[in-house]
Chain A
Amino acid sequence: NAGVMQNPRHLVRRRGQEARLRCSPMKGHSHVYWYRQLPEEGLKFMVYLQKENIIDESGMPKERFSAEFPKEGPSILRIQQVVRGDSAAYFCASSPYWGLPNEQFFGPGTRLTVL
């Protein structure tokens, strides 16, 4: 029973390029969350999605960042025109339902480095 999968595990981009991070939730999970972790800090919520719907994007920067979770395929976090401040670890989590208690299962993360 595979856990949450993320790829790539490491991604290097130059300033101004685009970064695409992919997340495949656990089997049977239809709720996906993206978090960002800066070095030596806690995780910060970015966005919560269900299939084909963005439920809560209150943690997403207003510009350059977008997320989707299509009917088929993985969830995608897209960062356009990356800047050095985007360098961080991006974690995806999934859960089987909404509401509390809400155990979220985390993937291994994608470590983005912007040169």
Chain B
Amino acid sequence: GESVGLHLPTLSVQEGDNSIINCAYSNSASDYFIWYKQESGKGPQFIIDIRSNMDKRQGQRVTVLLNKTVKHLSLQIAATQPGDSAVYFCAENRETSGSRLTFGEGTQLTVNP
């Protein structure tokens, strides 16, 4: 079946380092990808998105890369801070599926001081 999944369930980095969180997807018909951050006890918070016709998009301290050839998505966080500690989910959206999001399983990012 179709899925959006993560390579690693946990990632631990030192404060100030760059973090890279990966995501694989199986459906080549995905039109739109989004990264969400979820802190403990809270709802997901939008970080950055990218359309399927793009390869890269940058935000403040974050960059999303999309490789459609291998169906791979990554989130890069520059100069990781303790406040970045959270679970990160990738999600995909397709025009044919309306507005619903399909989420991956999540990666727990821990930033060590």
Q: A residues bordering B, Cβ < 8 Å?
A: 4, 31, 33, 35, 40-45, 48, 55-56, 58-59, 91, 93, 95, 98-109
- CB contact under 8 A between A107 and B43, given known A100-B32, A100-B95: yes
A101 contacts B95, C-beta separation under 8 Å? no
Known: A56-B98, A106-B43, A109-B42. 13 other contacts (CB 8 A): A42-B89, A42-B105, A43-B101, A43-B103, A45-B100, A95-B99, A98-B99, A99-B95, A101-B93, A102-B93, A103-B49, A104-B46, A108-B42
Rounded to whole angstroms, the CA-CA distance of A74 and B17 in the bound complex is: 43
CB contacts between A and B, total, < 8 Å: 73
A100 contacts B31, C-beta separation under 8 Å? yes
Report the interface size class on chain B. 20 to 34
Contact among B46, B51, B99 with A48 in the assembled complex (CB-CB below 8 Å): B99
Q: B residues bordering A, Cβ < 8 Å?
A: 4, 31-32, 34, 36, 41-46, 49, 51, 89, 91, 93, 95, 97-106
B49 contacts A42, C-beta separation under 8 Å? no
Rounded to whole angstroms, the CA-CA distance of A41 and B106 in the bound complex is: 7
